[in-house]
Amino acid sequence: MKTTLTKRMTFCAGHRLFNPGFSDEKNREVFGDCANPGGHGHNYVLEVTVSGEIDKDTGMIINLKEMKKIIENEIISKVDHRNLNIDVDFMKGVIPTTENFAQKIWAILDKSFEGKLLNKVVLWESENNRIEFSR
Amino acid sequence: MKTTLTKRMTFCAGHRLFNPGFSDEKNREVFGDCANPGGHGHNYVLEVTVSGEIDKDTGMIINLKEMKKIIENEIISKVDHRNLNIDVDFMKGVIPTTENFAQKIWAILDKSFEGKLLNKVVLWESENNRIEFSR
Amino acid sequence: MKTTLTKRMTFCAGHRLFNPGFSDEKNREVFGDCANPGGHGHNYVLEVTVSGEIDKDTGMIINLKEMKKIIENEIISKVDHRNLNIDVDFMKGVIPTTENFAQKIWAILDKSFEGKLLNKVVLWESENNRIEFSR
Amino acid sequence: MKTTLTKRMTFCAGHRLFNPGFSDEKNREVFGDCANPGGHGHNYVLEVTVSGEIDKDTGMIINLKEMKKIIENEIISKVDHRNLNIDVDFMKGVIPTTENFAQKIWAILDKSFEGKLLNKVVLWESENNRIEFSR
Amino acid sequence: MKTTLTKRMTFCAGHRLFNPGFSDEKNREVFGDCANPGGHGHNYVLEVTVSGEIDKDTGMIINLKEMKKIIENEIISKVDHRNLNIDVDFMKGVIPTTENFAQKIWAILDKSFEGKLLNKVVLWESENNRIEFSR
Amino acid sequence: MKTTLTKRMTFCAGHRLFNPGFSDEKNREVFGDCANPGGHGHNYVLEVTVSGEIDKDTGMIINLKEMKKIIENEIISKVDHRNLNIDVDFMKGVIPTTENFAQKIWAILDKSFEGKLLNKVVLWESENNRIEFSR
């Protein structure tokens, strides 16, 4: 039986999808309006799930305040109200699709929860599409 | 580690739940108001999840435009604003419960995504109940 | 200063939009897929708002249990899991657009709340469109 | 391939988080405002998922009316509008964190569905955090 | 033409509905399970709307950061994770129905926005019922 | 009695809030992270409400297909996946706050509905704040 705790947080960011190795036509064909040079942005929803034993003294897998602080420090503070193509170190040289963005978030958070296991990262770009990384 | 992309789409349809092999009393007992002869309907929500590698050049598992077109062509165009008991070929002879409906959608979509694996189909009949098929 | 209480309830129903005085072509042109002969349906959301004084002894404009019972008896029990074109007395001879449906609901509920004033009726046909009647 | 049916239900309850074996300072440190002596409360959302074969005659894994009745009888009727620290037998002596509460709900429901397998219990304390127990 | 800005915030609180001037039977009859002695609670949603001119230099009716701080200081910090019957000064001697609670919030906020007019306060006790005060 | 029809649509866009007449310090003080030079973005939700008589032959205030086309042509096609500071003619020289953006949308749509009256425009920048223009 698996027990998990999930925290949902939100942020907004700007991005533009294009591959500098592609021609303008190819970028337009692959990325459509997401390749518009001025860029655009989204209200992202991030769900982070950890698994672990329930501590007998606290009744918690992990303290939600601590979990919120980790996600805030490691991710939200670095991407909220930022441009993913320009302002975010861990996205340098990466096409900021939801897939690539979620993969980077997974890689960072996977080292952050001492004694707990990162179980799932879900990143919603809009109410109609999302990426999931999970064990 | 599993990576998936999920697309959410909506449609509306009419249906009536009854088994022609049941008596009226039995249909009423099993299906309740869902067996009312005039039928009724729902705003369905369909979530389709595929898994696969992230393409290095595009940063995508699958292009969302392509994924949307497949779901639109294979499912939505055939059921939206239709009566599931009368108008939909792939539902002929099938009691249109959410279970049976989702199973047919799974069977159709499982052949549709070249090089990707259909991972999950979730079908919501209302905000309070849903069926999931998953690998 | 206006004080109101709003109760949200849900139901599902089937319907078909067509005007028997129109040709098939005209029905198709005006109502599109909503004119499909087999009909379809929706999960409707109904919000009913009443205004009135806050009773000093109960702290209530109206008891929510009473309000729910009125809406249940007058509307929900007559339309839930029904076909609006066939099964609902107060919709006989009426094209069951959201506009006409909400107007009938308003007319019925406007007589139902003794000593309170019906202030607004909102009827959602989907998450993307709704009709409001208000004073 | 796994097939599941999920039912979503809601209830409200009051609780206070504290460990009688902790000092006041320790309770404050661990539980923060959740340890306030007067207690507080939440609108909980409970999602229950069962798996099983689709019955050929009904097209159902389990009849939703039956499933709703089980969850209503076993859980909702015992916790809705109750104080989890005082009024609920199965929570006696348990710190009413979402983790512990969900674990008790799992244990109760795991015995309730004859011939079906309880697959998942999700308990949302707010729109921003939830606990999941799953097979 | 009216221009308004609305800020949505959330908090949780505990309460019990009863009138000390009523008999136990009368309290049970009027308030139902809301009169259970142990109390219960809710995740409240509060929407505050102000109207005013759009400032030419900032493009704002009021700075959202300032608006959030006012609502946080005047309301949220005093009710979040509190018991409305015990812990909240401005609710002393008041039956904590959503009606009475929203009225007190209106009265407090109506003095808080210098140069702007409080236009509406909406308080949701659950996704299914809410109270509105408006000019 | 007022009768209205509301259509909800969504789009995403990028923007940066700053006043070129302000110093960097002043921009930072007024607009906070919204003034970050790289810009960011949002998933906007736009609700457009028109009022009018219900046509006896169609049962409609206005045909939803027609209403959707007007909003699509006049607004969505010009702002979706665009940068409001750079790409949108009607926003030239305007600080793209939600207030100013909604005001421009109102001005454009107010001329678009022949024989119907634009009643309300609501623009959500996130689930937590929105601007309303209404008659």
Nearest to B39 by CA among D90, C42, A15, F107: C42
CB proximity F46 to C under 8 Å: no
Question: To which H or E segment does residue F13 belong?
Answer: strand F2-15
Are C26 and F63 in contact by the 8 Å Cβ rule? The answer is no
**Catalytic-residue membership of C42:** no
Local structure of residue F72 (DSSP, 8 states): I
Tokens 């998953």 belong to B134
> CB contact, 8 Å: B72 with chain C?
no
pLDDT at B98 over 90: yes
The number of domains in chain C is 1
CA distance A15 to C69: 51
Q: Determine the distance from the C-alpha atom of residue B82 to the mean position of all C-alpha atoms in its chain, rounded to a whole number.
A: 13
Give the H/E segment covering residue E99. Answer: helix E98-109
Of the pLDDT bands very low, low, confident and very high (cuts 50, 70, 90), residue B115 is confident
Strands C40-51 and C2-15: antiparallel
Structural domain of A90: 4-134
Q: Per-residue DSSP letters for D40-82?
A: EEEEEEEEEEEE-PPPTTT--SS-HHHHHHHHIIIIIHHHTTE
D vs E: CB pairs below 8 A: 77
pLDDT of residue A111: 95
Between chain B and chain C, the number of residue pairs with CB atoms below 8 A apart is: 77
Sign of CA dihedral F55, F58, F60, F66: negative
Q: What is the pLDDT of residues D102-113, one digit of tens each?
A: 999 999 999 999
E strand or H helix at F96 = none
Q: By the 8 A CB rule, do C47 and C38 touch? A: no
Could you read off the pLDDT of F50-67 as tens digits, one per residue? 999 999 999 999 999 999
**E120 inside 8 A of chain F by CB:** no
pLDDT value for C1: 86
Of residues E26 and B1, more confidence is placed in E26
Reduced 3-state DSSP string for chain B? CEEEEEEEEEEEEEECCCCCCCCHHHHHHHHHHHHCCCCEEEEEEEEEEEECCCCCCCCCCCCHHHHHHHHHHHHHHHHCCEECCCCCHHHCCCCCCHHHHHHHHHHHHCCCCCCCEEEEEEEEEECCEEEEEEC
Do the chains contact at C134 and F1, CB–CB below 8 Å? yes
Mean predicted confidence (pLDDT) in B81-88: 98
pLDDT band at C114 (very low <50, low <70, confident <90, very high): confident
Chains D and C lie in contact, requiring 3 or more CB pairs less than 8 Å apart = no
Question: Residues 6 or more apart from F122 whose CB is under 8 A from it?
Answer: F45, F46, F47, F49, F102, F130, F131, F132
pLDDT in tens, A64-109: 999 999 999 999 999 999 999 999 999 999 999 999 999 999 999 9
* Residue-wise pLDDT tens digits, B9-67: 999 999 999 999 999 999 999 999 999 999 999 999 999 999 999 999 999 999 999 99
- Whether chains B and A touch (3+ CB pairs under 8 A) is answered by yes
Give B16's strand partners: none
Interface test with B, best of C42, C43, C87 (most B CBs within 10 A): C43
Residue D134 has pLDDT above 90, yes or no: yes
The Cα A60–Cα F66 span in angstroms is 54
Q: Which of D49, D62, D64, D132 to probe by mutation at the B interface, max B CB count within 10 Å?
A: D64
pLDDT for residue D33 is more than 90: yes
**Interface membership of E1 toward F (CB under 8 Å):** yes
How buried is residue E74: exposed, middle or buried, by Cβ count under 10 Å (0-12/13-18/19+)?
A: middle
Per-residue pLDDT, E115:
84
**DSSP state, F73?**
I
Chains that touch C (3 or more CB pairs under 8 A): B, E, F
The CATH number of whichever domain residue A77 belongs to comes to 3.30.479.10
Mean pLDDT computed over E54-79: 98
Please say if F125 is a catalytic residue: yes
Judge whether E105 and E44 are in contact, CB under 8 Å. no
Please report the pLDDT score of residue F58 as a whole number. 98
Return d(Cα F6, Cα C100) in angstroms, integer.
15
Which residue in the set A31, A127, A133 is minimally distant from B3, CB to CB? Answer: A133
pLDDT reading at A115 higher than 90:
no
Q: pTM score, two decimals?
A: 0.97
The DSSP result for A69-124, as a single string, is: HHHIIIIIHHHTTEETTTT-GGGTTS---HHHHHHHHHHHHTTTSTTSEEEEEEEE
Of all residues in chain B, the one with the smallest CA distance to C39 is B83
The pLDDT score that the predictor gives to residue E25 is 98
C-alpha span between D22 and C65 (Å, rounded): 42
Residue A54 — pLDDT band, cuts 50, 70, 90? very high
> What one-character-per-residue DSSP string does E28-79 give?
HHHHGGGG-TT-EEEEEEEEEEEE-PPPTTT--SS-HHHHHHHHIIIIIHHH
Chains that touch A (3 or more CB pairs under 8 A): B, D, F
Contact B65 A94 (CB under 8 A): no
pLDDT category, E114, cuts 50, 70, 90?
confident
Closest residue of chain B to A33, computed from CA coordinates: B65
Q: What percent of chain E has pLDDT over 90?
A: 97
Question: Could you report the per-residue pLDDT of F74-87, keeping only the tens digit for each?
Answer: 999 999 999 999 99
Confidence tier at D1 by pLDDT (50, 70, 90)? confident
Looking from the CA of E63 toward its CB, the CA atoms found within 13 Å total 14
DSSP string, C21-88: TS-HHHHHHHHGGGG-TT-EEEEEEEEEEEE-PPPTTT--SS-HHHHHHHHIIIIIHHHTTEETTTT-
Residue A114: pLDDT over 90 = no
Do E and D touch, 3+ Cβ pairs within 8 Å? The answer is yes
C108 within 8 A of B64, measured Cβ to Cβ: no
- With contacts defined as CB-CB under 8 Å, which chain D residues touch A47? none
Inter-chain touch C57–E19, beta carbons under 8 Å:
yes
Dihedral, CA of residue A102, residue A106, residue A112 and residue A114, to nearest 10: 140
Mutate to test the interface with D, among A53, A54, A135 (most CBs of D within 10 A): A54
